[in-house]
Amino acid sequence: MTVDDALNMVRLGNVQMSPDGKWVFFSKSELDWGENKRTTKYFMVPAIGGKAKQFIG
């Protein structure tokens, strides 16, 4: 693995369950080479499964 490989890795984190147990929230962080910064977006997905929806970022 090279330094560029490590920088290009998508990072998932901050996994949280909603108090009612119906939703899972998480962040997705990626490097934007054009802007020379890491961007983070936040998503929610039903705990029973399904498609994640972006809600912040």
Closest to 41 in 3D by CA, of 23, 31, 28: 28
Number of domains within the chain: 1
* DSSP secondary structure code for residue 32 in this structure: E
Question: What is the pTM (predicted TM-score) of this model?
Answer: 0.78
Predicted confidence at residue 39, as pLDDT, reads: 92
Per-residue b/e over 11-36, b at no fewer than 16 CB within 10 Å?
A: eeeeeeeeeeeeebbebbeebeeeee
Q: What are phi and psi of 5, to 5 degrees?
A: -60, -45
- Domain range for 14: 3-56
User: What is the model's pLDDT at position 57?
Assistant: 62
**pLDDT tens sequence across 11-57:** 999 999 999 999 999 999 999 888 889 999 999 999 999 999 998 76
Pick the more confident residue, 28 or 1: 28
Which amino acid appears at position 36 of this protein? N
